[in-house]
Structure 1
């Protein structure tokens, strides 16, 4: 229910408590940084509002009447409750300021984000991070809608309508199992051969799939590609399916480096096909990347370089 119009405002209650504690309108005025007439006027309006005499004014100072003492006791509870409310709200603001909401594309989240988060924890232990994982299209949508502070996407181009900064570079690789016929090829695979082969692919909306589609279009023009052999939402699942000989796949070189180095997968070169892409931090247009967001991007770039991966140009 709404408050009665006879409830005084907090400022007037605070002044009444100051007079009760200091015994003087003048000293109460000094405490609040106003003139004595201003304090006298506020308390007079409070007395008129309540219909009670709250203060006895005299040459030796001011003291509360019996009614004033009771009102002051009740007012003290109200002022303390308001102070508690202010402290709680300030704590929430601080928590919200220090908590960085990140949404990351799948490959970055699976293969780079763990190292980035560890570096952030070591360098900025007070930085709280909430991480959500989605494909690149969803990341862009959530950043655009203001549902997150910072996004990370992988793809051939800069997302329209967002500001971005390059964090790392990546190259997609065609990989097959050791038993696949392409593993024994002596010449590079052509772009057309790749386009006509059913692949294990990520779902529509992923940065990996859009990078491949753009590369094939640039090399071959508008071409109808073979439908996927299988669509999976996880790069790890795709690697496992390829390793089991189901079909080839085109996935991040970062994701398959260990499997290729240890012979579990075989990388197949492709002629005349640019499969490079940029890994970007993205944030809403119209504002600079500051505070915890700027800190995290710098730490992510540092972690990427420390891991011995290629330098990312801004």
Structure 2
């Protein structure tokens, strides 16, 4: 056991010391420019630094390596024998760094060529379209795919690596995800104009709403979670549907009352296809959140889309 520990310690020391013993890429690129141009001044201009800074960098590299690299004279700068050897090594290091940079850029290009978004229904239908149009203006070459589902399904896709960024409407951040609030929403009770509730003189009490069979979203949806928590339980659903659009259509048809995001029913309320029923005794508000796997802050197109959610929708 003692030998293993010593070996690990030695390896750590060697790794930590390497950065102090090997010149940085900027210094190696400067040395290659001196070798190619035969002039420290021209090499300084090519690498974008002053001649005094170039001289200082060469001297620092010579101290670091413990050998003289460049002979300076009024006629120019010439590599020493040791400098020529170090330059050969430097060329291989710089070429390897260029290959590394090209590979990293290829990875970024592949990442930036697509964006997979998962969003709960209300956000997917009523907020994301404008955000995605704005993203397209900024990143026309990024292909975007959108999966709309309930908040639980969004969390599953993020945690399985099937989505890069998600949006949810529930009460809390799903386990395993980090989040930021991007908007706030209010749920309202709506019915068709012919429903008896549309003619009532007093606001609807929270306990009456809880006791009434409603047209509801399925379990796992953010709307259902907020409503259930606020009312302390719900009656058996009149109808259970898997999308906001379907719930809204059923309410417009007169099938029964529903609770929907005010984002989703603006047109129907304005056209009097639906009526908002005042509610007392409870406030149905919720946070809309962007979410991503814990510890993996969005990058590339996902980061850009997240930034757009903080502007006007």
TM over 0.5: same fold?
Answer: yes
Q: CA deviation at 1:107?
A: 1.1
Deviates more, 1:118-127 or 1:260-269: 118-127
The alignment status of 1:256 with 2:265, answered yes or no, reads yes
Q: CA deviation at 1:207?
A: 0.6
Partner of 1:299: 308
Partners of 1:211 and 1:33 in 2: CA distance: 67
The alignment status of 1:114 with 2:129, answered yes or no, reads yes
Partner of 1:233: 242
Partners of 2:144 and 2:312 in 1: CA distance: 17
The alignment status of 1:34 with 2:43, answered yes or no, reads no
Q: CA deviation at 1:124?
A: 3.0
Kindly indicate whether the alpha-carbon contact (under 8 Å) linking 2:111 and 2:300 is maintained by their aligned counterparts in 1: no
Q: CA deviation at 1:125?
A: 2.2
Partner of 1:142: 157
Structure 2: 5+ residue stretches without partners:
1-83, 93-98
From 188, 207, 210, the equivalent of 2:222 is 207
The alignment status of 1:129 with 2:151, answered yes or no, reads no
The alignment status of 1:165 with 2:220, answered yes or no, reads no
Partners of 2:211 and 2:242 in 1: CA distance: 22
Partner of 2:278: 269
Equivalent pairs counted in the alignment come to: 224
The alignment status of 1:286 with 2:295, answered yes or no, reads yes
The alignment status of 1:195 with 2:202, answered yes or no, reads no
Deviates more, 1:176-185 or 1:99-108: 99-108
Structure 1: 5+ residue stretches without partners:
1-28, 39-82, 218-222, 305-314
Helix, strand or coil: the match of 2:304? helix
Partners of 1:108 and 1:229 in 2: CA distance: 24
Q: CA deviation at 1:230?
A: 0.6
Kindly indicate whether the alpha-carbon contact (under 8 Å) linking 2:217 and 2:223 is maintained by their aligned counterparts in 1: yes
Q: CA deviation at 1:140?
A: 1.1
Partners of 2:245 and 2:88 in 1: CA distance: 65
Helix, strand or coil: the match of 1:164? strand
Partner of 1:243: 252
